[in-house]
């Protein structure tokens, strides 16, 4: 991977864009522009599937002393979060 830091940043941003689509009543996310904070809030919500929770944690966790990320595939982690948001919004729309 040529630019892993940039890839991680983009994955975080994309996940943040998806998370902002969730209803604030569910999440308390509105008003947060900090993507790391959005990921942290999301990971602490009750009822979030473990795969989405751990993907968020991997994306917001700081690099270790060797500058290694706990997210070995940040795009896949962002995709897990996007898929959760898509499924949640689809289910919510069916209830309207």
Q: List C-alpha distances in Å: 34 to 1, 47, 56, 89.
A: 26, 23, 14, 22
Could you tell me the pTM of the whole model? 0.86
What average pLDDT does this structure show over 38-65?
91
| Cα gap 10→86, rounded to integer Å | 19
In angstroms, the CA 27 to CA 19 distance is 9
Predicted confidence band at 44 (pLDDT cuts at 50, 70, 90)?
Answer: very high
pLDDT grade, residue 69 (50/70/90)? Answer: confident
């Amino acid at each position: 991977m040529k630019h892993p830091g940039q890839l991680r940043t983009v994955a975080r941003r994309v996940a943040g864009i998806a998370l902002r689509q969730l209803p604030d009543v569910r999440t308390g996310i509105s008003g947060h522009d900090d993507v790391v904070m959005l990921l942290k809030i999301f990971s602490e919500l009750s009822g979030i599937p473990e795969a989405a929770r751990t993907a968020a944690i991997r994306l917001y966790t700081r690099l270790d002393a060797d500058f290694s990320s706990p997210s070995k595939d940040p795009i896949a982690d962002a995709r897990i979060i996007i898929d959760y948001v898509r499924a949640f919004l689809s289910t919510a729309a069916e209830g309207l």
